[in-house]
Amino acid sequence: MCEHSSVANIYAKAIFELAVEENKIDFWQKMLLFSVSISRDLKIKSLLAGVLPAEYIANVFITLCGDQIDLKCQNLIKIMAENKRLFLLKNVLLEYIGLKNNYNKILEAKIISAYELSFSQLKNISLFLEKKFNSNINLKHSIKDTVIDGFIIKVNNLVIDMSIRNRLKQLKNFLNY
């Protein structure tokens, strides 16, 4: 899996450098997103896993994409097909989005809570994180009943755990000390 991630990162970096150079960052993201949607089709998945020639696979894939991808993206599809790596398109897209967010100084933050947080609460958390990281924050909120109460924030490798479960764990550790 790590090898797939590093290979996907190499493709994503090359694409992103080209996208920045041509001022087509959002356009490339749309093309990659569309390509990923094609690659998720069950018939296409079996085509990609098959033993057909790379040129045939690339031509079918490009035909299905139609005018949603340009010539340079078509070349990417051909190269990835030749190297039997079209199955990595989703990983390439994810790496590309990460590069784009880094370029635009946008951090992905996940907040997990026991219940729905209000718009005001989410906005305050977002403002706190923007100040802390000196970046724009793309906040994604999800609800998990295992949190009990409070919330957990994840940004990159940092975890801010303000859940009751974590506080009880800290209290237990303190009392056992």
Taking the CA atoms of residue 148, residue 107, residue 77 and residue 58 in that order, the dihedral angle to the nearest 10 degrees is 10
pLDDT value for 41: 86
pLDDT value for 4: 64
- Please tell me the number of Cα atoms within 13 Å of 170 on its side-chain side: 7
82 and 112 in a single domain? The answer is no
Domain stop point among 72, 102, 132: 102
13 and 62 in a single domain? The answer is yes
Range of the domain at 65: 2-102
pLDDT value for 77: 95
32 and 89 in a single domain? The answer is yes
98 and 111 in a single domain? The answer is no
pLDDT value for 27: 97
**What is the count of structural domains for the chain?**
2
pLDDT value for 61: 92
96 and 117 in a single domain? The answer is no
CA distance between the termini of the chain: 40
SS (H, E, C) 98-141: HHHHHHCCEEEEEEEECCCCCHHHHHHHHHHHHHHHCCEEEEEE
Task: Residue 39: give its domain's CATH number.
Answer: 1.10.520.20
* Residue pLDDT tens, the chain, 177 long: 556 678 999 999 999 999 999 999 999 999 999 999 999 988 888 887 778 899 999 999 999 999 999 999 999 999 999 999 999 999 999 999 999 998 998 888 999 998 999 999 999 999 999 999 888 999 999 999 888 888 999 998 889 998 888 888 888 888 887
CA angle 79, 83, 84 (to 5 degrees): 110
81 and 123 in a single domain? The answer is no
65 and 125 in a single domain? The answer is no
pTM for the model:
0.73
